[in-house]
Amino acid sequence: MASQDTHLLICKNNQYPSVNVPKSYWVIVVISVFVLSVYFSFFHHLANRDFWSSHEARAAMNANSILEGTGTMLPRIYDGSEDLQKPPLYYWLVAGISSLRGTNADSVSVRLPSALSATGIIILLLVFLWKNYDFYAGVLGACILITCIHFGWLARIGRIDMTLAFFTTSSILSFYESGKTQGWAKSVFLLITYIAMLIVVLMKGLPAFVLILPLFFFWFLFLIFCDNATNSFPKRLLLFKKLVIDYHLVPGLLCVVLLSGLYFYMVNEESGGRFYDVFFGYHHWVRALGDGALRSHPVWFYVYQFFVDFVPWSPLFYFSALAVFFSSRFKLSSIHWFGLIWFFSMFLVLSLVSYKRADYLLPAYPGAAIFLSVVLSDFIKLSFFSKLLSTRTFYKSLAGILFVSSVSWVWYVDFYLPKYEPMREMKSAAKFIRNSTFDNILFFNMESHALAFHIGKPLETIVGWENLEKSINLKKQAFLLTYPENIEEISGKFPDHKLNVLYSKNSQLTKGFSRPFVFIELKSQNDS
510-527 pLDDT tens trace: 888 888 999 999 988 775
Q: Are strands 517-524 and 477-482 parallel, antiparallel or unpaired?
A: antiparallel
406 inside domain:
yes
357 inside domain:
yes
- Out of 416, 442, 460, pick the residue that ends a domain: 416
- Residue 449 · residue 75 · CB < 8 Å: no
- 179 and 231 part of one domain: yes
Nearest residue to 130 (alpha-carbon basis) of 140, 121, 120, 143:
140
DSSP string, 202-243: HHH-THHHHHHHHHHHHHHHHHHHH-TT--SHHHHHHHHHHH
- How far apart, in whole angstroms, are the C-alpha atoms of residue 361 and residue 302? 8
- 462 and 391 part of one domain: no
Q: Which domain covers residue 501, as residue numbers? A: 423-527
Determine the pLDDT at residue 36.
Answer: 92
266 inside domain:
yes
- Out of 416, 434, 456, pick the residue that ends a domain: 416
How do residues 375-419 score in pLDDT, each as one tens digit?
998 888 775 566 666 677 788 888 889 999 999 999 999 999 999
484 inside domain:
yes
**Average pLDDT of span 307-324:** 92
Q: Which of 15-24, 186-195, 435-444 has the lowest mean pLDDT?
A: 15-24
CATH code at 517? 3.40.50.150
- 453 and 310 part of one domain: no
- 186 and 202 part of one domain: yes
- How far apart, in whole angstroms, are the C-alpha atoms of residue 363 and residue 218? 17
269 Cβ contact partners less than 8 Å away, ≥ 6 residues apart: none
51 Cβ contact partners less than 8 Å away, ≥ 6 residues apart: 57, 60, 107, 110, 158, 426, 449, 450, 453
**pLDDT band per the 50, 70, 90 thresholds, residue 117:** very high
149 inside domain:
yes
- 428 and 404 part of one domain: no
- 446 and 389 part of one domain: no
**Average pLDDT of span 347-372:** 91
How do residues 135-157 score in pLDDT, each as one tens digit?
889 999 999 999 999 999 999 99
Residue 206 has pLDDT above 80, yes or no: yes
- Out of 395, 416, 437, pick the residue that ends a domain: 416
Q: Which pTM value belongs to this model? A: 0.90
- 289 and 327 part of one domain: yes
Compute the radius of gyration of the chain from its Cα atoms: 27
- How far apart, in whole angstroms, are the C-alpha atoms of residue 25 and residue 307? 36
3-state secondary structure of 519: strand
How do residues 24-65 score in pLDDT, each as one tens digit?
666 677 788 889 999 999 999 998 899 988 889 999 999 999
1 inside domain:
no
Output 474 or 113, whichever has higher pLDDT: 113
**pLDDT band per the 50, 70, 90 thresholds, residue 14:** very low
Number of domains in the chain: 2
- How far apart, in whole angstroms, are the C-alpha atoms of residue 57 and residue 79? 13
- 347 and 233 part of one domain: yes
Residue 6 has pLDDT above 50, yes or no: no
Q: Which of 7-21, 239-253, 360-374 has the lowest mean pLDDT?
A: 7-21
- 68 and 140 part of one domain: yes
- 452 and 397 part of one domain: no
- 338 and 472 part of one domain: no
- How far apart, in whole angstroms, are the C-alpha atoms of residue 341 and residue 339? 6
Q: Which of 36-45, 84-93, 309-318, 471-480 has the lowest mean pLDDT?
A: 471-480
Q: Is the dihedral of CA 194, 195, 200, 203 positive or negative?
A: positive
Give buried/exposed letters for 177-203 (b at 16+ CB in 10 A, else e): bbbbbeeeebeebbebbbbbbbbbbbb
Determine the pLDDT at residue 388.
Answer: 63
- 412 and 434 part of one domain: no
Determine the pLDDT at residue 284.
Answer: 73
